[in-house]
Structure 1
Amino acid sequence: MNILILSRNSRLYSTRRLVEAGRERGHQVRVIDPLRCYMDISPHRPEIHYKGENLEAIDAVIPRIGASITFYGTAVLRQFEMMGTFPVNESVAITRARDKLRSTQLLARKGIGLPRTTFGYSPDDTDDLIDLVGGAPMVIKLLEGTQGKGVVLAETRQAAESLIDAFRGLNVHFLAQEYIREAGGADIRCFVVGERVVASMRRQAKEGEFRSNIHRGGQASVVRITPEERTMAVRAARIMGLNVAGVDIIRSAHGPLVLEVNSSPGLEGIEKSTGKDIAGTIYQFMEKHARLGKTRTRGRG
């Protein structure tokens, strides 16, 4: 197949592994910067151009779109979908997962276990927002944050009130969330491809930190997940509409809870901790499912 990887940095581990794995399986694989793509949005012959070249006869696209370019990156991906190119993850699923509020509401509507979460606008409701999640300590998350950025632990009620006031003063949106103390700064990343969890790792936050993200110094190790956790991860990815997803689960006294569903999960931590060829597994999925025009976006506007 002729495959494009949408990535701003070809030197990133995940991008490099996807190139290597694809070429090892006999595919033509090329990395292009989505910000250098531009589109001819025509009803009968939509096109994408890249540095003066008309990109044609592309069988599949692997989006590795960073959060900072979600708007433009998904517009490029949507154009490929209009042209009938198969996307590993569709544009609508990526934008759905990137919106923390929307994704939390969708998961809650389908009965997925979550930490108690609140969202509000008026300063007059701050006390109730804090009480609804059980008071301090509590977690406050910016809706635009990624890789643990914009996620703050307020250890006291006064700290929570000050953070909420500061975020409102900056005119940014945030979620207030229950702090799961018994998790001990650890979560589980379940890597979902298609309808199954193909690998999972436990991420432990470094001492003095509650965020377990690898980018924040968290340590990864192999973990055995329960059937309930496995089912929950697959369901969460399906609700988002993602074929490839990193589902972050935390173990609470009341059972597993989903923290987040990531539409562009990194490969380095999961491959190195488990020894599994996750990039190759993604290509296996593509080889089985990639067909011209096989996208829900085509013809639906």
Structure 2
Amino acid sequence: MGGKVAIVADRIGWEERLLIKSAPDLGLQIEWANDESLCLGHADAPSINAYDAVLIRSRSYTRGGLLATLAESAGMPTLNSAAAIHACENKLELRTLLRDAGVPVADFRLVLSRRDFERALDELHVPVVLKPVFGGMGKRVTLIRDADTAQSVYDYVEDLGHGFEQAALVEPYLADGTSVRCFVVGRELIAAAEFESAGGDWRSNAALGNQSRALAHDPDVMKVVDGVVDRLGPGIYGIDLFRTAHGPVVNEVNHAPAFRAVATATDADIPASIVRYVQETLA
């Protein structure tokens, strides 16, 4: 089945170019719709109603979730769903949803004040990671290695953060320099790779250009991935895991995942998998 699909994004990156290039061979036409000029809100969504579906690739969780909400309201098939994007945006909501569903997540404490922060340090003990509830791509994530510097680190949260920006999570430092990125399309794990921190940066994050290698089939990883998809619904996800002595735990789920590093490490044809999944959605 053919169709015309909009990639809703703030820019066309490497991944978006490949999706646009791959689509015609699989019977779809994909075009870029600039997420800064859609002006959604009209019940008929005139800026996107010429398309058969929209694929949300906005780098901003907030922007992507808002646009998905209005696209769905206009009756447009939308990937990913607004509910899934909003859950990915809010690290607290994501961890709570997954934990309540029996999916393993890292231990955490919500920090809304210095008193919260001090109690979290007492309960979890350094080293810990301080991260914003809202955010992605490893931005504003801080490793606190010792108690002597912890209070100075929190000074920046109090002085530079405003409102929701001050909401943070404190988690045990679980990464030993590696993490696992699982790329899911629909309900299927298309590719998985391990990332190692590089260049002196302790954060193992694909967006930071870390080294990667293909990961062989791992039943424990598959079980966690299946649990995430069961809770959030089928979609296109980058699921980041940490390995622990008790098995893998979810760190984050990305709503518009980059896939250059995973594709390079695994040779998986991720663009074709995504285009075929969009076709199935339209069928």
1:270 is aligned to: 262
Aligned counterpart for 1:175 among listed residues 169, 176, 179: 169
Question: In the alignment, what sits opposite 1:41?
Answer: 42
1:105 matched to 2:103? The reply is no
Distance 1:126 1:184, change over 3 A: closer
Q: Aligned-pair distance for 1:40?
A: 4.9
- Are the counterparts in 1 of residues 6 and 30 from structure 2 also a CA contact under 8 Å? yes
* Contact kept in structure 1, 2:26 and 2:276, CA below 8 Å: no
Question: How many angstroms apart in 2 are the aligned matches of 1:125 and 1:144?
Answer: 18
1:8 is aligned to 10
Distance 1:21 1:64 in 2: 16
Residue 38 (structure 1) shift: 1.4
Whether 1:76 and 2:78 are equivalent positions in the alignment is no
Instruction: Report what 1:162 is aligned to.
Output: 152
Q: 1:151 to 1:237 in 2, by over 3 A?
A: farther
Alpha-carbon distance, 1:162 to partner: 2.2
The Cα shift of 1:259 comes to 0.6
Contact 1:138/1:160 (CA < 8 Å) preserved in 2?
no
- Structure 1 residue 121: Cα displacement: 2.2
C-alpha offsets along residues 135-170 of structure 1, whole Å, 9 cap, x if unaligned?
Answer: 111111122331111111111012223222331333
SS in 2 for 1:37: coil
CA–CA separation in structure 2 for the residues paired with 1:201 and 1:7: 25
SS state at 2:136 partner = coil
Assess if the C-alpha contact under 8 Å between 2:62 and 2:89 holds in 1.
no
Counterparts of 2:8 and 2:33, CA distance in 1? 5
Q: Aligned ranges for residues 107-256 of structure 1 at < 5 Å?
A: 107-133=98-124, 135-171=125-161, 172-180=166-174, 183-256=175-248
Q: 1:210 to 1:40 in 2, by over 3 A?
A: closer
Tell me, in whole angstroms, the C-alpha distance in 1 between the residues paired with 2:122 and 2:115.
13
State the one-letter code of the partner of 1:240: L
Q: Is the 8 A contact 2:131 2:140 kept in 1?
A: yes
Q: Retained in 2: the 8 A contact 1:185–1:212?
A: yes
Given that residues 97 and 103 in structure 1 are in contact (C-alpha distance below 8 angstroms), is that contact kept between their aligned partners in structure 2? yes
**Is 1:192–1:234's contact at 8 Å kept on the other side of the alignment?**
no
User: How many Å separate the matches in 1 of 2:41 and 2:134?
Assistant: 30
For 1:29 and 1:207, how far apart are their aligned partners in 2?
37
- The offset of 1:8, in angstroms, is 1.6
In 1, distance between residues paired with 2:270 and 2:133?
A: 29
Determine the C-alpha separation between the residues in 2 that align with 1:103 and 1:111. 12
Equivalent position SS for 1:36? coil
Q: Quick check: 2:64–2:85 contact (8 Å CA) kept in 1?
A: no
Instruction: Indicate conservation of the 8 Å contact 2:104/2:248, yes or no.
Output: yes
Structure 2: gaps of 5 or more residues:
none
Runs of 4+ off more than 4 Å: none
TM-score when scaled to structure 1?
A: 0.86
TM-score (norm 2): 0.91
Identity %: 26
Q: Single out whichever of 242-251 and 82-91 deviates more from structure 2.
A: 82-91
* Compared CA separation, residues 78 and 115, structure 1 to 2 (3 A): closer
Q: What is the CA distance between 1:280 and its match in structure 2?
A: 0.6
Output the aligned Cα RMSD: 1.8
- Give the drift of 1:108: 1.6
Distance in 2, matches of 1:47 and 1:125, equals 44
What secondary structure does 2:130 align onto? strand
Q: Which moved more, 1:265-274 or 1:118-127?
A: 118-127
